[in-house]
Amino acid sequence: MERLQKVIQKAGICSRRKAEELISLGKVKVNGTVVTEMGIQVDTSDEVSVNGEKLKSEQLVYYVLNKPSGYVSTTSDNFNRRTILDLIPVKERIFPIGRLDYDTSGVLLLTNDGEFMNALIHPKFKVEKEYHVKIKGLLRKDESSRLTKGVDLGDFTTSPAKVFDVEYDDDKVNTLVKVIIHEGKYHQIKRMFDEIGHPVLKLRRHRFGIVTTEGIKQGDYRLLKPHEIKQLWNLSRYGK
């Protein structure tokens, strides 16, 4: 027996929180009867439907995509731009774990396991994300130390970042730099560099936790290995 919201989440429809919302809105039926009470227990013999559609129990899948720039990380786009699902045409209903901007490339994890996704995007989740960044202008030491101390972005102050491998390009007009953060606020890297006066020209996420794009060509993807899934769970605060 399992709680109704968890069964919906596990079917890959949505997060547990969203499932609770759907239940309270009367969108969920168990064996043909609308259920608005939270936390009822169901088992595999119960027929659950959400918005009139029967839940199928899908196998849980976990992928890593090496996202090229020029794709949105959502599963559909109002402006008809290419989405990551054009690159990863699998039969399961998968969702990205966090987002990368349209013009950002690199590691993007995708899954139909809502619990795994929630654990990894929870604000308290301290997984490291390593970005390789090309910025306009020459990064000075005092500027990079603003990032390593934490920079005030108005609505929040970033946690201390690690900044390393600073290289100036041939013409000495731009800087290549590697940055590790463990937060994942909207446009965080771009906002951090904007704040110190060096707009981002190119951004690639090299690593998410223990997963990198190594061996995966841009636009390609692979299944995560069982030990990688386990290690990611271990990194999360809901770790198993």
- Contacting ligand URA (CB under 6 A), which of 132, 134, 182, 190? 190
Go through 187-225 and write b for each residue having 16 or more CB atoms within 10 A of its CB, e for each that does not. Answer: ebbbbbbebbebebeebbbbbbbebbbeebeebebeebe
Q: How far is the CB of 39 from ligand URA (least distance, A)?
A: 36
Q: Pull the structure tokens for residue 41.
A: 């227990």
Binding mask 88-127 for ligand URA (x = CB under 6 A): ------------xx--x-----------------------
Q: Pull the structure tokens for residue 32.
A: 């043909």
Q: How far is the CB of 202 from ligand URA (least distance, A)?
A: 11
Report, in angstroms and rounded to the nearest whole number, the Rg of the chain calculated over CA atoms: 20
Rule CB under 6 A: say whether 203 interacts with ligand URA. yes
Q: How far is the CB of 213 from ligand URA (least distance, A)?
A: 14
106 DSSP assignment:
E
CB 111 within 8 A of CB 61: yes
Name the pairing type of β-strands 62-67 and 104-111.
antiparallel
Catalytic annotation, pick one of 77, 101, 103, 220: 101
Binding piece for ligand URA, criterion CB under 6 A, among 48-56, 77-85, 150-158, 188-196: 188-196
Binding piece for ligand URA, criterion CB under 6 A, among 117-125, 140-148, 168-176, 186-194: 186-194
Rule CB under 6 A: say whether 151 interacts with ligand URA. no
85 DSSP assignment:
G
Q: How far is the CB of 199 from ligand URA (least distance, A)?
A: 11
Please say if 103 is a catalytic residue: no
Binding piece for ligand URA, criterion CB under 6 A, among 12-20, 41-49, 136-144, 187-195: 187-195
* Cα–Cα distance, 180 to 200 (Å, whole number): 15
CB atoms within 10 A of CB 59: 9
- Contacting ligand URA (CB under 6 A), which of 187, 195, 210, 219? 187
Query: Which SS3 state, helix, strand or coil, does residue 164 take?
Result: strand
Catalytic positions, please? 101
Residues near ligand URA (CB under 6 A) are 100-101, 104, 187-190, 203
